[in-house]
Amino acid sequence: MTTWYDEAFRPGSEIQGKWNGRVYVVERLLGAGSNGIVALVRRGAARFALKAGHETVDHQSEINSLHAISLTETSFKNFLIDADDMTVNGKEISFYVMRYIEGISISDFIHKRGQDWIYVIGSNLLRKLTEVHKSGYVFGDLKIENMIVSKYGDVDLIDFGGVTPKGRAIKQLTEVYDRGFWNMGERVAEESYDLFSFAILLLKSLDQRKRFNGFSNILPQNRDMDQLTTIMRENPVASHIAPFLHKVLNSEFSTSQEAYQYWRKLVSGKKNAQSILKMPWLKICFAASIFIFGATVYIYW
Ligand SMILES: Nc1ncnc2c1ncn2[C@@H]1O[C@H](COP(=O)(O)OP(=O)(O)O)[C@@H](O)[C@H]1O
Ligand SMILES: [Mg+2]
pLDDT tens by residue, 240-249: 999 999 999 9
Q: What's the pLDDT band for 108 if we cut at 50, 70, 90? A: very high
Residues carrying CATH 3.30.200.20, the chain:
5-99
CA–CA dist 265, 190 (Å, integer): 24
Report which ligand 1 atom has the smallest distance to the Cα of 32.
Answer: 14
Atom 17 (ligand 1): residue with closest C-alpha?
159
What mean pLDDT is predicted for residues 118-147? 97
Cα distances from 113 to residues 19, 127, 200, 253, 266, in angstroms, run: 45, 21, 20, 30, 21
Contact 160, 147 (CB under 8 A): no
Residue in 119, 128, 195 with CA at minimum distance from that of residue 155: 128
Ligand number with the minimum distance to the CA of 33: 1
**pLDDT-above-70 percentage for the chain:** 88
Residues carrying CATH 1.10.510.10, the chain:
106-268
| pLDDT of res. 276 | 47
Ligand 1 pocket, mutate which of 27, 38, 69, 139 (most atoms under 8 A from CB): 38
Strands 137-138 and 80-88: unpaired
What mean pLDDT is predicted for residues 175-200? 96
Q: Is the pLDDT of residue 141 over 90?
A: yes
Q: Is the pLDDT of residue 280 over 50?
A: yes
pLDDT tens track for 22-64 = 999 999 999 987 888 999 999 999 999 999 987 888 899 999 9
Query: Among positive and negative, which fits the CA dihedral 25, 26, 27, 31?
Result: positive
Q: What's the pLDDT band for 273 if we cut at 50, 70, 90? A: very low
**pLDDT-above-90 percentage for the chain:** 73
CA–CA dist 111, 11 (Å, integer): 30
Report which ligand 1 atom has the smallest distance to the Cα of 101.
Answer: 3
The H or E element containing residue 290 is helix 281-300
pLDDT tens track for 261-271 = 999 999 986 44
Ligand 1 touching residue 35 (CB < 6 A): yes
Q: What angle do CA 191, 37, 110 make, to 5 degrees?
A: 55
Report which ligand 1 atom has the smallest distance to the Cα of 102.
Answer: 4
The active-site residue, picked from 84, 116, 141, 156, is: 141
Tell me the CATH architecture of domain 5-99: 2-Layer Sandwich (3.30)
Cα-Cα end-to-end distance for the chain: 70
For the domain with range 106-268, which CATH number is right: 3.40.50.9100, 3.40.50.970, 3.40.50.720, 1.10.510.10?
1.10.510.10
pLDDT tens track for 197-239 = 999 999 999 998 888 888 878 888 778 788 899 889 999 999 9
Q: How far is the CA of 295 from the centre of ligand 2 (A)?
A: 47
